[in-house]
């Protein structure tokens, strides 16, 4: 009987993303190709602005309802996957998780909310495009310069080809857009949204690839590729926040290697915090920061971790510097 129950749970977890998936409204159809969303000129968002027709407003409301429903479904499906691997968690219901289309549409919605009228939004979209395309071309050229064969068996080369866009799309979000010459605030806002979407799509593609590597070969193959490859693979997993089950899988494979000195303790601690935040809502080592009162600080620490002495002792055990020193490496204000 126990065996039949386990089988049923596995089947339910596998089918939930299909059975519970909310259907995208017809107004989004022109923007979807093979379950991939391209916002284009954002015509689907016309109903979010003044002077929209009743039909456009109704279409916009349907899109918002779809996002709410698909995020709920994705949260339930992620819960099922986590429970199936023995993790009791209640993940937030306002994220797309492994429903990529849902996540893409959800990420696109704030773009419209940042503008008071349709005309200014459209002008900012046009002005931002050349900046985005130029940066995208540079990243593509950098990736192509490695000359990696997509069918290559060299794992290090495959990871390097992925780490370039992984880091490249994040770099502009670290303050460089604030100093970009000749870019007004509205153009910068839309440019940031374009880059966020590219980063989101890159992370999604990387997480699917990493999942295949871990399920087929495990971390053993990554260790054989060397410490540099192991560190880069870890970085891809750190950014797979839409797939907590994948992060749990990686953490479990890494743990015995960390205990024998084959994997860095500090990196293990950082991934532990990522997994804990996604599954139980608190972190243990204080590695994940947020902007609080215009300063960076760790968030959602567990009860004991709120004591600086306890937190620093935990960090020291994993080769991490004190929290106070860690914060000195960040800008004084956020």
Nearest to 46 by CA among 146, 102, 98, 119: 119
CB 85 within 8 A of CB 78: no
* Residues 52 and 90 reside in one and the same domain: yes
* Residues 42 and 128 reside in one and the same domain: no
Burial class (CB in 10 A: 0-12, 13-18, 19+), 150: exposed
* pLDDT for residue 150: 63
* pLDDT for residue 179: 77
Q: How far apart are the C-alpha atoms of 50 and 57, rounded to whole Å?
A: 10
* pLDDT for residue 219: 93
Domain boundary among 113, 128, 163: 113
* pLDDT for residue 290: 92
Count CB atoms within 10 A of the CB of residue 304.
10
* Residues 24 and 76 reside in one and the same domain: yes
Residues found in the chain: 334
Q: What is the dihedral of CA 241, 247, 251, 257, to 10 degrees?
A: -100
CB 169 within 8 A of CB 195: yes
* Residues 38 and 105 reside in one and the same domain: yes
Q: How far apart are the C-alpha atoms of 250 and 252, rounded to whole Å?
A: 5
Residue 154 counted as domain residue: yes
Residue 165 counted as domain residue: yes
End-to-end CA distance of the chain: 56
* Residues 139 and 121 reside in one and the same domain: yes
* Residues 191 and 256 reside in one and the same domain: no
* Residues 109 and 174 reside in one and the same domain: no
Query: Could you tell me the pTM of the whole model?
Result: 0.89
Domain boundary among 181, 198, 215: 198
Residue 105 counted as domain residue: yes
Tokens at 159, concatenated: 């990871």
Q: How far apart are the C-alpha atoms of 229 and 211, rounded to whole Å?
A: 16
Q: How far apart are the C-alpha atoms of 241 and 247, rounded to whole Å?
A: 8
Determine the structural domain holding residue 124 and report its residue range: 116-198
**pLDDT one digit per residue (tens) for the chain, 334 residues:** 333 333 333 443 444 444 456 899 999 999 999 989 999 999 999 999 999 999 999 999 999 999 999 999 999 999 999 999 999 888 888 889 999 999 999 999 998 888 999 999 999 999 999 999 999 999 999 988 888 776 678 899 899 999 999 999 999 887 777 777 888 999 999 999 999 999 999 999 999 999 999 999 999 889 989 999 999 999 999 999 999 999 999 999 999 999 999 999 999 999 999 999 999 999 999 999 999 999 999 999 999 999 999 999 999 999 999 999 999 998 888 8
Q: Which residue has the tokens 């089918």?
A: 15
Angle, in degrees to the nearest 10, between helices 244-259 and 227-238? 150
* Residues 100 and 130 reside in one and the same domain: no
Domain boundary among 97, 113, 129: 113
Count CB atoms within 10 A of the CB of residue 152.
12
* Residues 122 and 140 reside in one and the same domain: yes
Residue 57 counted as domain residue: yes
Residue 155 counted as domain residue: yes
* pLDDT for residue 9: 39
Residue 85 counted as domain residue: yes
* pLDDT for residue 154: 87
- Cα torsion angle, 34, 40, 42, 43, sign: negative
* pLDDT for residue 331: 83
Q: How far apart are the C-alpha atoms of 67 and 101, rounded to whole Å?
A: 10
pLDDT tens sequence across 276-323: 999 999 999 999 999 999 999 999 999 999 999 999 999 999 999 999
Domain count, the chain: 3
Angle, in degrees to the nearest 10, between helices 265-279 and 227-238? 20
* Residues 169 and 126 reside in one and the same domain: yes
């Amino acid at each position: 009987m126990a065996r039949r129950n386990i089988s049923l749970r596995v089947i339910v977890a596998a089918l939930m993303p299909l059975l519970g998936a909310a259907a995208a409204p017809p107004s989004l159809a022109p923007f979807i190709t093979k379950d991939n969303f391209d916002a284009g000129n954002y015509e689907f968002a016309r109903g979010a602005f003044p002077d929209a027709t009743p039909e456009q407003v109704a279409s916009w409301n349907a899109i918002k309802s779809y996002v709410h429903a698909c995020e709920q479904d994705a949260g339930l499906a992620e819960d099922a996957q986590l429970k199936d691997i023995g993790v009791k968690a209640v993940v937030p219901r306002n994220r797309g998780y492994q429903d990529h289309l849902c996540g893409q549409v959800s990420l696109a919605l704030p773009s419209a909310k940042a503008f008071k009228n349709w005309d200014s939004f459209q002008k900012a979209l046009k002005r931002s495009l050349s900046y985005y395309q130029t940066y995208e071309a540079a990243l593509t050229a950098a990736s192509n310069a490695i000359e990696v064969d997509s069918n290559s068996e060299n794992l290090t080369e495959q990871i390097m080809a992925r780490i370039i866009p992984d880091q490249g799309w994040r770099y502009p979000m670290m303050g460089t857009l604030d100093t970009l010459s000749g870019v007004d605030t509205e153009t910068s806002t839309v440019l940031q949204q374009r880059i966020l979407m590219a980063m989101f799509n890159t992370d999604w593609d990387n997480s699917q690839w990493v999942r295949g590597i871990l399920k087929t070969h495990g971390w053993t193959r990554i260790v054989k590729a060397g410490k540099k490859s192991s560190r880069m693979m870890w970085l891809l997993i750190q950014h797979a926040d839409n797939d907590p089950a994948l992060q749990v899988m990686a953490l479990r494979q890494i743990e015995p290697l960390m205990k024998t000195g084959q994997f860095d303790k500090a990196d293990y601690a950082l991934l532990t915090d990522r997994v804990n935040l996604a599954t139980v809502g608190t972190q243990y080592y204080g590695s994940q920061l947020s902007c609080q009162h215009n300063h960076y600080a760790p968030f959602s620490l567990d009860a004991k971790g709120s004591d600086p002495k306890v937190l620093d002792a935990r960090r020291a055990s994993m080769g991490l510097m004190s929290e106070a020193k860690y914060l000195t490496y960040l800008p004084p204000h956020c």
